[in-house]
Structure 1
Amino acid sequence: MHTRRSLLLTAAAGSSIALLGLATPNATALAATSDQGLVDEARITVQDFTGDTQFTDMRRKLARAKGVFIVPQLLKASFIIGGEGGSGVLLAKTQTGWSEPAIYTMGAGSIGLQIGGEASEVMLLLMSDKAVEAILRNEFKLGADASVAAGPVGAGIEAATTTNLGADILSYSKVKGLAAGISIEGAVISARHSRNAAYYGKQAHPRAILYENAVSNRGTLELRQALAAAEMP
């Protein structure tokens, strides 16, 4: 599964780079195809988390969340100068269920003695309307515009949940299939308006995508169904 994910995301990344500066109909179609790969990988990420008993608490939190931001592959590779980033999708919970996803990127940079690289799957549960609204602005900084805390993982987690009651965002991450705590404080989440336009076939602000049913794509159905199935009372 992870080999297939790597191949899909590598192909998607390559397509995105090749498309920079192009404005032809064929380029738009290729961009939409690469971002369908992102949506499909987001669905696999949801299933990876919800099929893991370590994340039972996350499923309960998801049932109460106002939104979710899913990054199928957050990359971190460095030697002395480090950086991390990845593409993801933002969805909101509406009266009719999970919304269509809007495409965003999350990136951060750091300087330190870092050797090697790692790739993480990340899910951010947005537990307040404030958190969703903050991300819907053009640029959002984790920890500055809304509070973020690591979601509790593993056995005996119920006793630990009180420390997260005031957090706007709960962060869950996996590295090579294992639960992991990664620092995302200071990471910046930015909307990718051109990619949203290519994927949905017309321009639409992320707010219109999430709350106004301004656009739709049949390719998002399985992701939205996976989120609905993942919720645990």
Structure 2
Amino acid sequence: MISSLFSRPTTLPAADEALPGRAAPMEVAAAHFVSGHPLKGPYPEGAEIIYFGLGCFWGAERLFWTLPGVYVTAAGYQGGATPNPDYDEVCTGRTGHAETVMVVYEPDKISLDTLLKTFWEEHDPTQGMRQGNDVGTQYRSAIYTTTEAQFETVQASRERFDRQLKAAGKGPTTTEIAPAGPFYFAETYHQQYLAKNPNGYCGLKGTGVSCPLPA
């Protein structure tokens, strides 16, 4: 990812310091490049949505669209103050957004705990405002939930993983966990990027520590 070559701000801007953004939402392809499912719905009855930030969203999105029970994924920006930001604005660090992946999943086909196991194990959530060589607030580890039940499941999963990290001699997670605010779709060229560019950049690297599923 081009932005990974440079250090970005590692502190979030105050809301009144954020870039102004724009009223119009980003135009984005209607369908998922891999599955053909609609990015913006309608989604199957009973489907739930959760949002994950694991650093660069190119590799992060691929992790989830490959899982059975995940209906559709999309790359976007979340957790900041600027409405409808574009990629260049997010890269300045002045929007406050993290690069995130929207995951629409069917709970009767895949559990949230299984999704969380993938989340915890496939990146390093102990690094604060970075992910490997990708430095800046946009690369922070984050989970944004859409129901109270999700929030409770995420917190319990985090506690299990933190115990495993401690046993392995590693530091605790720095993952931001919060109810989801607005999700802004990223530009179409970011959507399912590694399906379109199989040799494209992916900086994901886990800690080598496993996250146990609940007993």
After TM superposition, the score normalised by the length of structure 2 is 0.30
After TM superposition, the score normalised by the length of structure 1 is 0.28
Larger Rg: 1
* Greater share of strand: 1
